Amino acid sequence: MCAFKSIEEAREFFKNDKFATNTGVRIDELDNDSCQCSLEINDGHKNGLGGVMGGVMFTLADFSFAVLSNHLHFPTVAQQVSVNYLSAPKGEKLIARAICKKNGRSSSIINVDVVDDTGRDIVQFIGTGFKL
C-alpha cells in the first residue's frame, strides 16, 4: 500500500523539503514502484568551472530516492547511498528516474538514474532506505 494517494499529495508533503525545492527540483511522476523528478539547470547550479555542481545532481537523485522510498513506506530514511558521476550534463534539464529494486520488511533498495534532456547518462545512484 502506497503512502501518498496522489502525486498532488506527495508534492504537498515534499514542498517542505526546502533544500531540494529551493534548488528547483520537482516531482513529475509517481506510481507504485517508480517516480520521476526533474530540474531545469540555471546559472545558480554551476560550479567555478561552469559545470553543474555535483551537489545539485546528488540533491536531485537523493530527492527522487526520498519521494519513492517514502511512497513505499512512510516514514523511511536513507541508511546508505552510493553515487557514481558518469558524465557532465550537456543539456538544459536533468531528469531522475527512481525504481524500486527491493521492498523488504525493514528496508528498500532504490536505483536512481539521472540523465540530461539530450539522453546523456549523468549519475547512477543506489540508495538503501531504512523503514522507521
* Interacting residues of 18 by C-beta distance below 8 A, sequence separation 6+: none
pLDDT of residue 21: 96
Name the band, by pLDDT with cuts 50, 70 and 90, for residue 101.
very high
Question: Is the residue at 61 inside a domain?
Answer: yes
Q: For position 81, what pLDDT does the model report?
A: 98
Tell me the β-bridge partners of 121: 115
Summary mean pLDDT of the chain: 97
Cell of 44: 545558480
Cell of 39: 530540474
Q: What total of structural domains would you count in the chain?
A: 1
Residue span of the structural domain in which 44 resides? 7-131
In a domain? residue 25: yes
CATH no. for residue 112? 3.10.129.10
Residue 2, in any domain of the structure: no
Please check the confidence at residue 113 and state whether its pLDDT lies above 90: yes
Residue 1 has pLDDT above 90, yes or no: no
